[in-house]
Structure 1
């Protein structure tokens, strides 16, 4: 079968052996797979990912001398079952799954593994207990956005929202857009979002942001403060010592960029007692000033992925039309177009989410 393969630091198209489903596994046809920012990071910083894997017990790092097939945001079609499977779904059923395999050695990742190929291949293997049937005739290219939406849903859940906060989303790429959608579902307003890209700011507004900011023209934290003023009643209810501080509602800041220096910018701009949720994945060594975090009493929460319940919930949200997933898709390519798509995604004005359709 054909696949877009990560080999010697590049994405190449080649033939590879057909996968065979083991006990409790399912052979599927890859219908649609989103190109994730993590895939772009993995191509550029693969050696860094391998080096840091030593701090993650039980996680087997990629062997970069061997082929890897990325692709963990997918919708697939069931083809056949391995031995011992319950055969819950008929062949031809469209399914999504957490990008993981249940094995005798434990849970293993799909997509950043030499053994468990991702959905940039024509066919792959999934674990039957993790399958979710795609409902409502949802298009595969939209069902494939379940995974990135679940990242935003999880980030907002980990923020432990009380209901009185004013959120600020820094970065309106796919992750930031997912966070905005999740905040809207929570009913937390006004949502302030910042991005340098006009196209992404427009999409942020479409996904639920109430105020969009161009950091080249307006300081995001100043704009946030304009919309976070306490009511006269809230001001009057503050304890005497707090009355000396700016009369602002609690800040909930989502860092959705993941580049060096960004977290330090958040530390500098954030108001006192802000809660910061780090969703963007910075693959390089970074620095921030602990003194600012101490003096401002900042609370920093790093997040990763999602729970199985959040993943299933995200699929339902898309299928029920509560999240406009279709607006995030800006292009689709076959296997031969994956390498170029990686380069094209560097331009935020051109693309937000490119879908790989290996069957094309």
Structure 2
């Protein structure tokens, strides 16, 4: 089968052996697979990712000296059932799955993160193997390309769940790339608002509005934190009055700020800009060392929450939200390529004005 392969620090197109299913697994044809920011990180910083994962206690054991087929945002079609499967989904069924494959070695379970495994190909290959018990059938009527966005949208849904929102919260989303857009979509479903979103890119700001943001900020022109304060300040609130100091008068609405950029310096900017007792949810994945001054967070009694991924239930619920039209993902798909176009797509995604999400269709 053909695949776009991460090999020797580069992306090449080559032929690989067809994957063989283990007990309880099915063989699937990859219909569409999104290129994730994590794929771009892995391409540029693979050794650093592996080192940081090991030092943090993760089981992330990708060997960068061996072939890796990226791709974990996929929709696929069942083409064959492996041994000891229940055949709960017939051949030809379109499915999504949490991008993890599990094999058994005696009583020990080996977990393979699809897209970052040396032993099992991800979605930039024509075929993959998935665990039957983890398959979720794509609802009738939902397009393949929209179903493929379940995984990135689930990241935003998980982040919003971790924020422990109340109806009084005023959310602020910093960064409107795919992660920030997923957070905005989840906030819209949660019914909190107004949703304030900030990004330097005009194209991303337009997408943020499409996904449900109520107030769009260009940080080059206005401080998103000042704009947040304007929305969260009740009539009659005076922070210098004795009544406010004693907590007896009108109160500022609570702040929940989502960091969806993932570059050094953003957390420090948030600590400086956030109001007292704000909850900061870090969703962006920063692959560099970062520095911030804890005193800002201490002085303001800020809550800093880091998040990663999603639960299987959140993944399944996200697919249902997309299928029912609660999350409109169509505007996010800005390009499609075959395996030969993956390397160029990685470069093209560096321009936020050109692309939001590029889908790989390995069968092309």
Q: TM-score range by the shorter chain?
A: over 0.9
> Does 2:5 align with 1:5?
yes
Q: Give 1:46 deviation, angstroms.
A: 0.4
Corresponding residue for 1:37? 37
Corresponding residue for 2:246? 241
Give the secondary-structure state (helix, strand or coil) at the position aligned to 1:30.
strand
- 1:272 and 1:348 map into 2 onto residues whose CA distance is 32
1:200 paired residue among 189, 197, 204: 204
Give the secondary-structure state (helix, strand or coil) at the position aligned to 1:6.
strand
Corresponding residue pairs, total:
359
Corresponding residue for 1:95? 95
Q: Give 1:92 deviation, angstroms.
A: 0.5
Give the secondary-structure state (helix, strand or coil) at the position aligned to 1:227.
helix
- 2:25 and 2:287 map into 1 onto residues whose CA distance is 33
> Does 2:67 align with 1:67?
yes
> Does 2:327 align with 1:320?
no
Aligned residue runs from structure 1 range 134-173, under 5 A: 134-173=138-177
Runs of 4+, deviation exceeding 4 Å: 231-236
- 1:92 and 1:319 map into 2 onto residues whose CA distance is 19
Q: Give 1:52 deviation, angstroms.
A: 1.5
- TM-score, normalised relative to structure 2: 0.95
- 2:238 and 2:121 map into 1 onto residues whose CA distance is 54
- 2:270 and 2:39 map into 1 onto residues whose CA distance is 25
Q: Give 1:241 deviation, angstroms.
A: 2.6
- 2:347 and 2:291 map into 1 onto residues whose CA distance is 28
Q: Give 1:63 deviation, angstroms.
A: 0.9
> Does 2:298 align with 1:294?
yes
> Does 2:279 align with 1:279?
no
1:340 paired residue among 333, 344, 347: 344
> For structure 1, which segment, 96-105 or 66-75, has the greater mean C-alpha deviation from structure 2 after superposition?
96-105
Corresponding residue for 1:121? 125
Residues 273-296 of structure 1 show CA distances to partners (whole Å, capped at 9, x for unaligned) of 010000000000000100101001
Give the secondary-structure state (helix, strand or coil) at the position aligned to 2:14.
strand
Q: Give 1:10 deviation, angstroms.
A: 1.2
Q: Give 1:165 deviation, angstroms.
A: 0.8
Q: Give 1:103 deviation, angstroms.
A: 2.0
Return 5+ residue gaps in structure 1 as ranges.
none
- 1:217 and 1:231 map into 2 onto residues whose CA distance is 26
Q: Give 1:102 deviation, angstroms.
A: 1.9
2:262 paired residue among 258, 269, 277: 258
Return 5+ residue gaps in structure 2 as ranges.
none
- 2:258 and 2:302 map into 1 onto residues whose CA distance is 13
> For structure 1, which segment, 193-202 or 56-65, has the greater mean C-alpha deviation from structure 2 after superposition?
56-65
Against the structure 1 CA distance between its residues 4 and 233, is the aligned structure 2 distance closer, same or farther, given a 3 Å change threshold? same
Q: Give 1:212 deviation, angstroms.
A: 0.2
> Does 2:273 align with 1:269?
yes
- 2:317 and 2:231 map into 1 onto residues whose CA distance is 31
Give the secondary-structure state (helix, strand or coil) at the position aligned to 2:76.
strand
Give the secondary-structure state (helix, strand or coil) at the position aligned to 1:196.
coil
- 1:269 and 1:204 map into 2 onto residues whose CA distance is 21
- 2:208 and 2:137 map into 1 onto residues whose CA distance is 29
Q: Give 1:321 deviation, angstroms.
A: 1.1
Against the structure 1 CA distance between its residues 41 and 58, is the aligned structure 2 distance closer, same or farther, given a 3 Å change threshold? closer
Give the secondary-structure state (helix, strand or coil) at the position aligned to 1:124.
strand
Residues 57-97 of structure 1 show CA distances to partners (whole Å, capped at 9, x for unaligned) of 46141111110000000000000011100010110000000
- 1:316 and 1:232 map into 2 onto residues whose CA distance is 43
Q: Give 1:231 deviation, angstroms.
A: 4.3
Give the secondary-structure state (helix, strand or coil) at the position aligned to 2:275.
coil
